[in-house]
Chains A and B, each alone.
Chain A
Amino acid sequence: MSDVLSSYPLLLRGAWVTIQLTVYGSALALVLAFVFGLMGGARSAWVRAVGRVYVEFFRGTATLVLMYWLFYALPLIGFRFAPMFAAVLALGLNVGAYGAEVVRGAVKAVPKAQFEATIALNMRPWQRLRRVLLPQAVALMLPPFGNLLIELMKGSAVVSLISIADLMLRAQQLRQSTGQTTAVFLVILVIYFVIAQVLQLLVRYMERRADIMLGRRPGRAARSALDTLGAAK
């Protein structure tokens, strides 16, 4: 165990790569989720179909298969990616498909009257989305996005199979050099767990912020005002 703990710089470097993959992958997934999710709710049937095809295709493929395909098959027809790029692309495309469904569902779940009101107020389509629908929809998206974020972080462990030096690959190296298999894997399981818990706290914080922004929960200023009112009574 002490051998494993004393080589913590190696594990920290691996964890840093895992975190980088998570950040880049989720940034790509977020963009794709909004683009294709909003397409899924479009009025034109063609635009909707494009959104559907993206979602069905990338929800149907396994991340690892996609990654292998990008990494091993595509170079043969002339596209060569750096491993890191292939990994981020595979993670982002895959999680983005799930995210697109979340976005579509959330926008649809905003009460119909809100949409009608925007038409009554003669807002342009972009204004409707930007000022009324999205702020409410985003609050609904956050909890499922949180789950997807953790899924993506967990999914990033497979990049070790295309030789990116993430936490998982570092663990393999450490296993070979120390021979303490059980200890190594226990330690990195705990590291992954800690990362997941931190991500969860982050998402909870954002959920609270979104609620306050929409006036569904009193903010700090309002809370202290309420407190003084209560004290005055």
Chain B
Amino acid sequence: MIWDWHFAGKILPDLLRGLVVTVEATLLGYAVALVLGLLWAVLRRSPSRVVNQVVRWVVEFIRSTPLLVQLFFLFFALPSIGLTFSALVTGVIGLGVHYSSYTSEVYRAGIADVPAGQWEATTALNLPRRRVWFGVVLPQAVRKVIPTLGNYLIAMFKDSPLLLAITVPEMLHSAYDVGAKSLRFLEPMTIVGVLFVIVSVLSSLLLRRLEFRYGNN
């Protein structure tokens, strides 16, 4: 069996449609991860020891168990408690929650990096808690960690094929479908691999520019 360019051209549109779903799931999941991670990080600073420790272990648990298992868990367990989502939404939630455990660590480092003087100043000015976080601490903390957060976008993109296990029609899923129908796996699998590398390398170039912009202040 040798490489067939004609066949490769014919299946490309199908695979690109899969790529759109992959990108969609990644971006939506990333949004969830950014928001939820921030929530974890802020809760970790809570003065209550109980909240603090509970959040710490929950995040540790999410981080040290496989995404695939979590996806299955959500896919099968959510309906049994009455929440029914489409496969894509379940996948987005899964990706988002899993990666929130990573982003929370990034935010935590950023928050820890805010000089103590800034905190003291908010106390001296008697700012309400909401303004302490949204007006003073987070703008400084988040700016610094933007490049690091960007790395997780790429990591997440590369974990998105796992969604095929819960029947989301993403790129690898379409490749597998094409392969199963035509019994030719070489072209679809190779194209998917190449597309993955192209998108990852392009986005890492983009990130490098982002790093350049935010890195030095």
Q: Quick check: which of A43-51, A122-130, A191-199 contacts chain B, the rest being far away?
A: A191-199
Contact residue among A59, A72, A161 (Cβ-Cβ distance under 8 Å from B189): A72
Instruction: Report whether B189 and A73 are in contact in the complex, using a CB–CB cutoff of 8 Å.
Output: yes
The reply to whether B64 and A192 form a contact with Cβ atoms under 8 Å apart is: yes
- A106-114, A136-144, A151-159, A211-219: which one contacts chain B? A151-159
A68 touches B76 (CB 8 A): no
| CB contact between A186 and one of B2, B66, B73, B190 (< 8 Å): that residue | B73
Contact residues in A for B201 (Cβ distance below 8 Å): 56, 60
Q: Does B69 make an interface contact (CB < 8 A)?
A: yes
On whether the beta carbons of A181 and B69 are closer than 8 Å, the reply is no
Q: Is the interface of A mostly helix, strand, loop or mixed?
A: helix
Residues in A whose Cβ lies below 8 Å from that of B80? 181-182
- B interface majority secondary structure: helix
Given A62-B159, A65-B172, A185-B77, A192–B69 Cβ distance below 8 Å? Answer: yes
A81 to chain B, nearest CB (A): 14
User: Within the complex, what minimum Cβ distance (angstroms) separates A87 from chain B?
Assistant: 13
Contact A59 B200 (CB under 8 A): yes
Q: How far is the CB of A18 from chain B (nearest CB, A)?
A: 9
Give Cα distance in the complex from A64 to B160, angstroms.
10
Interface residues of A in 80-103 (CB under 8 A from B): none
Contact mask B159-170 → A, CB, 8 Å, 1/0?
Answer: 111101100000
Considering the complex, give the chain A residue whose CB is closest to the CB of B176.
A68
Q: Is the CB of B193 within 8 A of A157?
A: no
A-contact 0/1 string along B14-28, CB 8 Å cutoff: 000000000000000
Please give, as numbers and ranges, the residues of chain B lying within 8 Å of A62 by CB-CB distance. Answer: 158-161, 172, 196
Contact assessment for B172 and A60 in the assembled complex, using a CB-CB cutoff below 8 Å: no
On chain B, which size bracket covers the interface?
35 or more
For window 49-93 of B, CB contacts with A under 8 Å fall at 61, 64-70, 72-73, 76-77, 80
* A57 contacts across to B, CB distance below 8 A: 197
B171's nearest neighbour on chain A, judged by CB, is: A65
Q: Is the CB of A154 within 8 A of B162?
A: no
Known: A60-B196, A168-B66. A65 touches B162 (CB 8 A): no
Enumerate 12 A-B pairs (CB-CB under 8 Å) in ascending A order: A60-B158, A60-B201, A61-B193, A61-B196, A64-B161, A69-B193, A72-B185, A172-B72, A185-B76, A192-B64, A193-B61, A200-B64
Q: Lowest 8 CB-CB distances: which A-B pairs, in order?
A: A196-B64, A157-B66, A60-B200, A73-B189, A72-B185, A60-B197, A181-B76, A185-B73
